[in-house]
Amino acid sequence: NYATLTSILFCYLLDSQRSVVMILLHLHPLFLCGLLYLTAAQEPNATAECKSALEACENDLECSNRLAPLMAACTTNTCQPQCRNAVLNVYQNKLGRTLLRSDASCIPGREELKQCHFLPAAPLVHCSLAKLACEADLQCNSKWGVFISECEAESARGECSERCYGLLAETVATPHGQAFESCTCTEREDQLCIHLKDNILDACNKPTPSPPAPGDNSITSLPTDFSSHGHGHVSSTTISSPCLLLCAMFLIQLFYSVF
């Protein structure tokens, strides 16, 4: 009967250690997400929007596989790189983006996500997450792509032309590019974020003044009212002195040639 078959199958799995391990490894992300989903459902302040987004992600294999590391890593309130990488990985999934863009009231690690600025809808956002949010939006990504292609090398040198300043301003003006204006980084192995913030974004907060044109060494003329201050004779004396000297030399030469 059914009970007998179930018992035989259970005993077989116990005897086959390899099979048990493989099944547990395969089901681990789903099992973890299921437990965390049950925990989230009991959160007293969890909103219906967040619960719906979490359930949709938990029921999708790819999203749940991405969500499991986030749930496991974002529990220390220390902004570890593992938590950051897990958040960025979840955000690259459509259902994961919907979950992170919610109020996160049903996510067990929400306090660390808030503390480390890993929530895209928060006033202050991690720069790497702001970059992903922009790249996931067609309007923002089109502006950002032009800025990066034309200005990344320039801004990495700490320079920013008027055009590059304008291109970044156009990116920030889009709804999903606003986070670039005040994004932040963590203090733990966050070199990519620091490079993005300090060497690319901050360089174009204002345009670099253009250097003077080469060869522009002309001397400016004296003011038109310069002679009214009693110094107008300087220019006339300076101009007439060479002429008087030439005339004197000519007269001396003429005198010796006659005599």
Interval 125-152: pLDDT, tens: 999 999 999 999 999 999 999 999 999 9
Give the integer Cα–Cα distance in Å for 115 and 186: 10
| Cα angle, residue 42 at apex, residues 40 and 44 outer, rounded to 5° | 100
Q: Among 8-17, 88-97, 198-207, which is the least confidently predicted range?
A: 8-17
Q: Is pLDDT of 212 > 70?
A: no
Give, as one character, the DSSP assignment of residue 158.
T
Residues 6+ apart with CB under 8 A from 107: 40, 50, 54, 71, 99, 113
Picking from 197, 134, 199, the residue whose alpha carbon sits closest to that of residue 160 is: 199
Cα separation values, 43 from 48, 67, 82, Å: 11, 18, 25
pLDDT at residue 208 in the model = 63
Q: In the chain, what are the domain boundaries?
A: 14-122, 124-208
Give the pLDDT band of residue 50 (cuts 50, 70, 90). Answer: very high
| Greatest pairwise CA separation for the chain in angstroms | 151
pLDDT at residue 146 in the model = 97
Q: Is pLDDT of 233 > 90?
A: no
Which tens digit of pLDDT belongs to each residue from 79-117? 999 999 999 999 999 999 999 999 999 998 889 999 999
Q: Is pLDDT of 11 > 50?
A: no
pLDDT at residue 10 in the model = 41
Give the pLDDT band of residue 189 (cuts 50, 70, 90). Answer: confident
Residue bearing the bigger pLDDT, 33 or 159: 159
Among the four given CATH numbers 1.10.1760, 1.20.140, 1.10.3470, 1.10.220, the one describing domain 124-208:
1.10.220
Verdict on whether the full-model pTM lies above 0.85? no
